């Protein structure tokens, strides 16, 4: 059975161990299916690039426990090897609990745990730390062994090995200090793979490090994929069982999805679900100042890093004009986290300089306090994608804040551990805009409602302004919310 790569805390090296194993497997010509616990976009992008297979998120809070089991079994059983990378510390879940944690996922899927410990300033204390993680619970964990990271010398190695031997825990590898093991990051996590210009070189180094420093004889059996299940069902089909959409269209309606260096926080299931409900996803780059695809019937703006590209987005007059025109024409527009920022009046960059955006919603965005954590969202309005009283689970992670906040009562009420209840989001008959990241496998009614709305919308006509990159910046476009 596959294992779960965990750690006492973030920054210990679990992503690097996962990448080393993925690179080694690919060099061997073996298909390793990666999974990632929790609401993460950047680690899965790296694991997808290195393994060659799309990494799947396993998040029981966002998607529910049954989806988690079906997703793991379906995708894992189609590969030669499989591994699950954990999130944060092994027992870190919602608030101070272990709900939704790596330990909870390991227990649900009956996976052994490989604990990655950053050991640069430890010796005999390693035994106390590992014993604590091995014996802590609930949920109980099956500790398969430990990989040590940033071990400084042979003497240090010997000290740590003896400490683990004293508590009868196998040592599965010892990674030294190495430049390829230092991954650059920014305020929301690791750099995306598109910005790691030496990724191929790093991938070769990771494979070499796995072969030289990991105990592959012990680790390889821990990468065995789950066994195929009789009468297994594609999890996409399964979660849409009760949310079929009848689109009486000669051709699938096109939905434009912002996809570039500014907008790439999107779970792979989003595109798969859109196709399954009868839409045709088409990539669209606001950063490249592309016009919206001809005849598109809906627009999806996922999260990402628009704040790092605010000046270039402001200069993308054709893209901003088309976005404002689409919203004014009544096309469904769905924006999530970073995508929300493109709809406002202005977006300030990290230096505090404001840049003009599409002007669809009447707010300005500036850098502010960190908002982070799972949120229970209860809809308070009848909007494009939600109905009053419906409750969803999402995740919030951003450092930019809006001024003013929604003034029309908001899309929903958000609640989360350690945060006061508040109104959040913007809603209108054709606009759904919120800070909240959702995984649509946990709320398949949303892509179904988007498909129905796209089926009713008239295709966006091509305008003269769309053909020219020098068309004027949108001014006071009709507000779709607020």
Strands (E), 279-345: 280-284, 298-301, 303-304, 333-336
Q: Which residue, among 326, 358, 341, has the nearest Cα to 431 in the 3D structure?
A: 326
Run of H or E residues at 4: strand 3-6
379 close to 412: Cβ distance less than 8 angstroms? yes
Nearest 10 degrees: Cα torsion 445, 447, 449, 451: -150
Q: How many CA atoms lie within 13 A of 101 on its CB side?
A: 26
| Residues noted as catalytic | 337
401 close to 381: Cβ distance less than 8 angstroms? no
271 close to 246: Cβ distance less than 8 angstroms? no
Q: How many CB atoms lie within 10 A of CB 124?
A: 11
Total length of the chain: 482
Report how far residue 129's alpha carbon sits from residue 151's, in angstroms, rounded to the nearest whole number.
16
Tokens 């960059």 locate to 349
Strand partners, 346: 356, 364
303 close to 336: Cβ distance less than 8 angstroms? yes
Transcribe 162-201 into DSSP letters: HHHHTTT--EEEEEE--GGG---EETTEEPPGGG-TTHHH
Strand partners, 56: 35
Q: Quick one: CA dihedral 86, 226, 243, 390, positive or negative?
A: negative
What radius of gyration do the chain's Cα atoms show?
A: 23
276 close to 244: Cβ distance less than 8 angstroms? no
Report how far residue 279's alpha carbon sits from residue 331's, in angstroms, rounded to the nearest whole number.
14
Report how far residue 261's alpha carbon sits from residue 309's, in angstroms, rounded to the nearest whole number.
8
Q: How many CB atoms lie within 10 A of CB 161?
A: 16
274 close to 253: Cβ distance less than 8 angstroms? no
């Amino acid at each position: 059975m596959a294992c779960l790569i965990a750690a006492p805390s973030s920054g210990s090296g679990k992503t690097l161990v996962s990448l080393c194993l993925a690179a080694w497997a690919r060099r061997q010509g073996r298909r390793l299916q990666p999974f990632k616990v929790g609401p993460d976009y950047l680690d899965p992008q790296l694991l997808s690039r290195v393994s060659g297979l799309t990494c799947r998120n396993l998040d029981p809070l966002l998607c529910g426990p049954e989806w988690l089991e079906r997703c793991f079994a379906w995708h894992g059983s189609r590969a030669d090897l499989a591994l699950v990378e954990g999130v944060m510390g092994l027992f870190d879940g919602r608030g101070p609990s272990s709900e939704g944690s790596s330990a909870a996922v390991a227990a649900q899927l009956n996976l052994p745990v490989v604990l990655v410990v950053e050991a640069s300033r430890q010796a005999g204390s390693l035994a106390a730390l590992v014993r604590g993680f091995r014996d802590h619970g609930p949920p109980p964990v099956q500790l398969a062994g430990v990989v040590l990271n940033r071990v400084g010398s042979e003497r240090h190695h010997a000290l740590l090995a003896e400490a683990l031997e004293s508590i009868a825990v196998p040592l599965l590898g010892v990674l030294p200090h190495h430049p390829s093991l230092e991954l650059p990051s920014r305020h929301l996590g690791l750099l995306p793979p598109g910005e790691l210009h030496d990724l191929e070189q790093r991938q070769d180094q990771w494979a070499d490090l796995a072969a030289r420093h990991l105990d592959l004889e012990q680790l390889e059996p821990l990468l065995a994929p789950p066994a195929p299940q009789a009468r297994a069902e594609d999890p996409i089909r399964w979660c849409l069982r009760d949310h079929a959409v009848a689109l009486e269209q000669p051709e699938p309606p096109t939905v434009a999805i912002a996809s570039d260096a500014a907008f790439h926080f999107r779970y792979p299931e989003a595109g798969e679900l859109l196709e399954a409900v009868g839409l045709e996803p088409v990539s669209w780059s606001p950063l490249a100042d592309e016009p919206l695809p001809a005849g598109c019937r809906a627009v999806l703006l996922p999260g990402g890093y628009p704040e790092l590209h605010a000046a270039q987005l402001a200069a993308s007059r054709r893209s901003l004009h088309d976005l404002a025109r689409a919203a004014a024409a009544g096309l469904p527009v769905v924006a999530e986290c970073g995508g929300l920022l493109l709809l406002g009046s202005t977006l300030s960059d990290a230096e505090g300089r404001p840049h003009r955006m599409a002007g669809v919603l009447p707010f300005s965005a500036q850098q502010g306090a960190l908002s982070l954590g799972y949120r229970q969202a209860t809809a308070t309005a009848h909007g494009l994608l939600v109905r009053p009283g419906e409750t969803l689970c999402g995740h919030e992670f951003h450092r930019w804040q809006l001024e003013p906040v929604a003034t029309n009562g908001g899309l929903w009420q958000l609640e989360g551990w350690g945060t006061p209840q508040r109104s959040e989001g913007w809603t209108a008959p054709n606009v759904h805009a919120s800070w909240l990241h959702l995984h649509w496998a946990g709320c398949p009614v949303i892509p179904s409602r988007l498909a129905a709305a796209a089926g009713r919308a008239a295709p966006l006509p091509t305008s003269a302004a769309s053909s020219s990159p020098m068309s004027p910046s949108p001014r006071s476009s009709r507000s779709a919310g607020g």
